[in-house]
């Protein structure tokens, strides 16, 4: 499933939910220079998925239903980029991707600062997500998983 394609007009993908036992294989095409697709965690205003959306592959959620969005960080921001264009996300939660050119800007949405990016990758980058079971993901090299930190001891 494409989170971004050549017809995309927004730097922010639809929201997707990873449940227990699921892994998201993320693959990027056409990212150049400092362009990246940052993994962001999402919290809804009521603390749960807005009614009628829980079983969809991705969800187009109105900004008024989103309470918080944060880039995921561990020894740096979790992101696909030209040097790491394949990665796996295996932590259950609610996510979206944000394209940017190396830095996100803050934009205020319903009184809450939400990171929103400007990106020259919109309309050129293709980001695909494939859901895998943890059983199938077990054969993939561990260093392709976001969070598989080796040699990093705290934030720089």
Its domain, for residue 137, covers: 2-144
Is 38 domain-assigned?
yes
| Mean pLDDT, rounded, for 67-83 | 89
Confidence of residue 108 (pLDDT cuts 50, 70, 90): very low
Is 86 domain-assigned?
yes
Is 52 domain-assigned?
yes
| Mean pLDDT, rounded, for 11-23 | 92
Confidence of residue 82 (pLDDT cuts 50, 70, 90): very high
Task: Print burial letters for 40-56: b (CB count within 10 Å at least 16), e (below 16).
Answer: bebebbeeebbeeeeee
CA atoms within 13 A on the CB side of 59: 22
Is 96 domain-assigned?
yes
The CA R_g of the chain, rounded to the nearest whole Å, is 15
Is 73 domain-assigned?
yes
Confidence of residue 101 (pLDDT cuts 50, 70, 90): confident
Is 98 domain-assigned?
yes
Is 150 domain-assigned?
no
CA atoms within 13 A on the CB side of 103: 2
Residues composing the chain: 156
User: Could you tell me which residues come within 8 angstroms of residue 113 by beta carbon, excluding any fewer than 6 positions away?
Assistant: 106, 107
pLDDT for position 50: 65
- Which stretch of 19-28, 44-53, 80-89, 108-117 has the lowest confidence by average pLDDT? 108-117
Is 115 domain-assigned?
yes
| Mean pLDDT, rounded, for 38-49 | 84
Confidence of residue 102 (pLDDT cuts 50, 70, 90): confident
| Mean pLDDT, rounded, for 68-74 | 88
Q: How many domains does the chain have?
A: 1
């Amino acid at each position: 499933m494409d989170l971004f394609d050549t017809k995309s007009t927004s730097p922010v993908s639809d929201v997707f939910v990873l449940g227990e036992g699921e892994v998201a294989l993320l693959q990027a095409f056409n990212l150049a220079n400092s362009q990246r697709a940052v993994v962001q965690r999402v919290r809804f205003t009521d603390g749960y998925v807005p009614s009628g959306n829980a079983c969809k592959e991705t969800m187009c959620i109105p900004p008024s239903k989103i309470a918080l969005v944060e880039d995921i960080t561990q020894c740096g921001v979790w992101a696909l980029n030209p040097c790491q264009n394949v990665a796996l996300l295996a932590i259950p939660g609610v996510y979206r991707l944000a394209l940017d050119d190396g830095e996100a800007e803050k934009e205020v949405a319903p009184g809450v600062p939400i990171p929103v990016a400007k990106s020259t990758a919109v309309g050129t980058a293709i980001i695909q997500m494939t859901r895998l079971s943890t059983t199938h993901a077990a054969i993939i090299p561990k260093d392709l998983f976001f969070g598989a930190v080796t040699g990093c001891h705290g934030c720089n």
